[in-house]
Amino acid sequence: MTGPAVRANSLSFEWATPAYPARVELHISLDGPGDLSTRMYDQIRAAIVAGRVQPGQRLPSTRELARRLAVSRNTVGVAFERLLAEGFVHGRVGAGTFVSATPLPYTDVRPATSPLRPRPVWDRLYEPLVMSDVHAAFDFRPGVPDASRFPYSTWRALLTEQLRPGAVGSAAHIDAAGVGALRSAIARHVGVSRAVRAVADDVFVTSGSQQAIDLIARVLVEPGERVAVEDPGYPPVRGVFTAHGAQVVGVPVDAEGLVTDALPDGVRLVYVTPAHQFPLGVAMSLRRRLALLAWAERTGAAIVEDDYDSEYRYGGRPLEPLHGLDHTGRVLYVGSFSKVLLPTLRLGFVVAPPPLHDALRKAKHLTDWHTQVPLQAAAARFVADGHLARHIRRMRAVYAPRHQMIQAALTGPLAPHLQAIPSAAGLHLTALLPAGGDDTAVVARAEARDVALQPLSRFGIGAGGPQGLVVGYGAIPTDRIDEGLRRLADCLENGPTA
Ligand SMILES: Cc1ncc(COP(=O)(O)O)c(C=O)c1O
């Protein structure tokens, strides 16, 4: 062995052995983050993987390395033991440590491509929106609640309670349907607030309502079967059914909600948002609700009722959910904590009739065993102790003036450019552009003025649907609404809408 070539905190070893007379170089630098053993391990491993040190070659001894690098022998020993344990080197007592000849399980070279391709259906599905990527001073996007009012200290206390030894029971997986206390609390909550008649056994806790839809698709829909959805409607739900191989058919929506007369034949399942149609915001009339239930009874179809934001009503009588009108057990009621708490918690549920319980439990188990237990247990206390009802009351008082301000603007100063769709619930209002309008152009102009909102056409199936603006008021602070709407008015006035 010759060398060392000393640098600050680093050494280059050059050595030759009788078996490998060519000189080899191993450079080890101790600079940088991480403990010394790990740095040494990383660099020797990299030299082996890159082929700079050949199989069969003997490494310098631990004693030699320790002496020259001025580190303890133990430090070098730890690095060598890792290399030995992972099969990069092998040792012979008295003879030294040799680079292994076996094919290496690792490579440091990341393949730039691969022959593997996803199933074709994934090419047909849209790119997921990353909602947290948008930062606008005037954020009118729908689907985002007011995170500044989230009851952080109550949740912190409830979660902390769950994160103590013993609090979450054993470390074993629980019933896939969810924590019993939360299932009971949800059954009581939807019974009182939405007249949904359910017992705890009917409730399945899911990772957001999105997963509830996914489980329902797995349990009820065979590939190739028809699923009817509202058009315009909620794209992530269409995506679930498409990904499961269903034939997704759009059904138009008018001022009374889903046009039941337009439902096609041979439908296995229909997905609706009757309390507050997404995205138009209309409520489904009682006449249509009854027509939908009668149609389902006649055809044998299942109905999925997504009640995603009906907790917030600003006048008018709350309309009874389809679930409450259903006497034949055809309606699955889906709820979400995304609007009343935070979408990032990923907490939702489905209330399902008994013949589906076993399959839903199996589907949930196969998907992810169950939703996080500490989160479920904290949510159970949050609902059962009355925090949820209080929070909803408080937030209704926050959102009501925002709803009113936007409604007043849509029907007042913005009326020459937009036709507001009457709506008395939820966290967004929608307005139509005149014929020939281009909502994506308006939204792009708004974005340039730091105003974020959604074009209605985004939610339609195919081109040619209504053009308009979907204006949310969950995220925007009340004192920014006037200025935000002024900017929006400028975008509508100063620029072609077609
Ligand atoms: C129609 C509809 N359903 C459900 C949700 C909530 O979904 P999740 O519970 O998966 O967050 C939203 C949120 O924007 C929605 O618009």
Q: What is the CATH number of the domain that holds 329?
A: 3.40.640.10
Give the tokens for residue 486.
Answer: 């002024």
- Kindly state the average pLDDT of the residues 157-172: 85
Per-residue pLDDT reduced to its tens digit, 380-424: 999 999 999 999 999 999 999 999 999 999 999 999 999 999 999
Q: Per-residue b/e over 333-363, b at no fewer than 16 CB within 10 Å?
A: bbbbbbbbbbbebbbbbbbbbeebeeebbeb
Same domain for 88 and 210, yes or no, is no
Give pLDDT, residue 61. 86
Whether residue 107 is predicted with pLDDT greater than 70 in this model: the reply is no
**Which pLDDT value is given to residue 6?**
42
Distance 434 CA to ligand 1 centre (A): 28
Q: What are phi and psi of 266, to 5 degrees?
A: 65, 35
Question: Which of 40, 66, 99 delimits the end of a domain?
Answer: 99
- Contact 178 CB / ligand 1 (< 6 Å): no
Position 33 in a domain: yes
Q: How far is the CA of 248 from the centre of ligand 1 (A)?
A: 19
CATH number, domain at 23? 1.10.10.10
Tell how far the Cα of 445 is from the centroid of ligand 1, in angstroms.
27
| Domain annotation covers residue 138 | no
pLDDT grade for 24, boundaries at 50, 70 and 90: low
Residue 207 lies in a domain: yes
- Is ligand 1 within 6 A of the CB of residue 210? yes
Distance 143 CA to ligand 1 centre (A): 7
Cβ-based neighbour number of residue 495 at 10 Å: 12
User: Is the distance from the beta carbon of residue 348 to the nearest atom of ligand 1 less than 6 Å?
Assistant: yes
Same domain for 377 and 309, yes or no, is yes
Judged by average pLDDT, the poorest of 35-44, 145-154, 210-219, 443-452 is 35-44
Determine if ligand 1 sits within 6 Å of the CB of residue 310.
Answer: no
Whose C-alpha lies nearest to ligand 1, atom 12? 308
Residues 249, 202 within the same domain: yes
Pick the last residue of a domain from 37, 66, 99. Answer: 99
Instruction: Of 476, 388, 339, 397, give the one whose Cα is nearest residue 155.
Output: 388
Comparing C-alpha atoms, which of 288, 281, 287, 285 is closest to residue 309?
Answer: 281
Same domain, 183 and 211: yes
Measured in Å, residue 31 CA sits from the centre of ligand 1 at 50
Number of domains in the chain: 3
* pLDDT at 495 (0 to 100): 67
Residue 299 maps to a domain: yes
Tell whether the model's pLDDT for residue 498 goes beyond 50: no
* CB of 211 closer than 6 angstroms to any ligand 1 atom: no
The mean pLDDT value of the chain amounts to: 91
Pocket test of ligand 1: the residue of 144, 206, 209, 237 to mutate, having most ligand atoms within 8 Å of its CB, is 209
Atom of ligand 1 minimally distant from the CA of 142: 14
C-alpha of residue 86 to centroid of ligand 1, in Å: 46
Quote the ligand 1 centre to 12 CA distance (angstroms): 59
- 435 and 415 in a common domain: yes
Residue 142 has pLDDT above 80, yes or no: yes
What is the mean predicted confidence (pLDDT) over 66-75? 89
pLDDT band at 18 (very low <50, low <70, confident <90, very high): low
**Ligand 1 neighbourhood includes 271 CB (under 6 angstroms):** no
Same domain, 222 and 361: yes
pTM as predicted: 0.84
CATH of the domain at 412: 3.90.1150.10
Same domain, 411 and 453: yes
Atom of ligand 1 nearest to the CA of 210: 10
Q: What is the CA radius of gyration of the chain?
A: 31
Residue 111 lies in a domain: no
Distance CA 327, CA 337 (A): 26
Q: Is the CB of 309 under 6 A from ligand 1?
A: no
**pLDDT score, position 14:** 66
Quick one: 270 and 362 in the same domain?
A: yes
Cα(76) to ligand 1 centroid in Å equals 55
| Whether 238 contacts 219, CB under 8 Å | no
Range of the domain at 447: 390-493
How far, in Å, is the centroid of ligand 1 from the Cα of 345?
12
Decide: 308 in ligand 1 pocket, CB within 6 A.
yes
Residue 137 inside a domain? The answer is no
Indicate whether 377 and 397 sit together in one domain: no
Burial of 108 per CB tally in 10 Å (0-12, 13-18, 19+): exposed
135 phi, psi to nearest 5 deg: -130, 105
Of 385, 407, 423, the residue at which a domain comes to its end is: 385
Q: Is the CB of 207 under 6 A from ligand 1?
A: no
Q: Is the pLDDT of residue 318 over 80?
A: no
Q: Which residues contact 13 (CB under 8 A, 6 or more apart)?
A: 1, 3, 4, 25, 26, 27, 28, 60, 65, 68
| 304: confidence class by pLDDT, cuts 50, 70, 90 | very high
Same domain, yes or no: 203 and 308:
yes
Residues 65 and 160 in one domain: no
Which atom of ligand 1 approaches the CA of 306 most closely? Answer: 3
Is there a domain that residue 123 lies in?
Answer: no
Same domain? 335 vs 212: yes
Judge if the beta carbon of residue 145 lies within 6 A of ligand 1.
no
CA 338–ligand 1 middle distance (angstroms): 7
Asked whether residue 126 is assigned to any structural domain, the reply reads no
Distance (Å) from CA 115 to ligand 1 centroid? 36
**376 CB under 6 A from ligand 1?**
no
